Amino acid sequence: MSLRCLLACVLLGLGLHCSPVDASPIRIKDLVEFDGVRGNDLVGYGLVVGLNGTGDGLRNAPFTEEILSNILERLGINVSGEQFRPKNVAAVFVTAELPPFARAGGQIDVTISAIGDAKSLLGGTLVMTPLNAADGQIYAVAQGTIIAGGAAAEGDAGGVVQGVPTAGVIPSGARVEREIEFDFSALDTIRLALREPDFTTAARIERAINGTVGRDAALMLDSGTVRLTLSRMRAASPAHALGRIENILVEPERKARVVVDQRSGTIVMGQDVRISRVAVSQGNLTLRIQEAPLAVQPNPFAQGETVVVPRTQAEIEEEPGIGLAEVPPGTSLAEVIAGLNALGVAPRDMIDILKSIKAAGALHAEFVVR
């Protein structure tokens, strides 16, 4: 049987597609973000010491020398005008996330990243570093021994690097010094922000909450927001109200979407993707050029020079392809992919076919290329 006939049989045979599998219910806490319940990003600029000769070259990173001088001066050591070139220090950025409702004295994880020409932070210790939020206030202070994310070794003729030795983490390496000024218990309404905005999903969340509490406490404002009126839930506090509704199961409605990663040839698609009536043909064109120069030498007793005569062989090879195969209307993308897989179509060729179907207006889904 020819490839064309095989594709036609596979695709037309799959035209009677099965009904999509129902999506599994998901907890509300996994579908939405609660208004006010959020983290805050922190950042700081610090110094790592104790490196085994893998720190910044101070001549190439003058900011490292500057912060080292400032730290020593704060400790009562005057180094003005002194010439020092230590190789065991490195300037770093320290980043962390202050979780919601973090209290003074709590500990959070921090990430350390070199910003100079340090080769490795392995074995280094972060010196006390204040961490600031977007408002410029200090909310935590970080210090501790770094767990680097890789290793590096170098010799006279070469070296080897595994992972990323210029970055690392300090588990529980920062202590919270200031709390976010936010009175959660005084709220009367809380907005639930959907991570994937959708009118159907928002309406289902509204119905599920109102059905659980027995009154109209939730109201859908738009595709991405559901307002929750706490006074109508008769809960002791907003925390009690959210604890009552966050585990309610809701079946979300997903948007039809096809995601393609061209670098790896990965294709991810949703179950609701559909294709209209369209004809598909695919083939490969290969151009080969070979150079085989020939050296022509004169006779031994003749006066002449050796001449190189170029010889080029060019040919074009076109594979027969799969011909034109008709895809019936209403066929799901999963069925088309199954048919192409049965023919052994390569993933990258499959991506080109999907692009062409989308350009023809027959692919009814959001097409995302990464």
One-letter amino acid at 338 equals A
Helices (H), the chain: 3-13, 62-74, 199-213, 238-245, 333-342, 347-359
pLDDT band at 17 (very low <50, low <70, confident <90, very high): very low
15-53 burial: b if 16+ Cβ within 10 Å, else e? eeeeeeeeeeeeebbebbebbebeeeebebebbbebbee
Residues 180, 97: Cα–Cα separation, whole Å: 12
Give percent of the chain above pLDDT 90. 31
224-281 pLDDT, tens digit each:
999 999 888 888 889 899 999 999 999 998 888 888 887 777 777 777 787 777 776 6
Please write down the HEC assignment for all residues of 5-64: HHHHHHHHHCCCCCCCCCCCCEEHHHCEEECCCCCEEEEEEEEEECCCCCCCCCCCCHHH
Residues 357, 273: Cα–Cα separation, whole Å: 12
Owner of token pair 């010799």: 155
When mean pLDDT is compared over 95-99, 181-185, 346-350, the highest value belongs to 95-99
35-87 pLDDT, tens digit each:
888 899 999 998 999 888 888 776 666 777 777 777 777 777 776 656 666 78
Owner of token pair 């085989």: 292
Residues 261, 243: Cα–Cα separation, whole Å: 39
Q: Is the pLDDT of residue 320 over 80?
A: no
270-313 pLDDT, tens digit each:
777 877 777 766 665 455 656 677 777 777 766 667 777 777 66
pLDDT band at 351 (very low <50, low <70, confident <90, very high): confident
Residues 201, 228: Cα–Cα separation, whole Å: 15
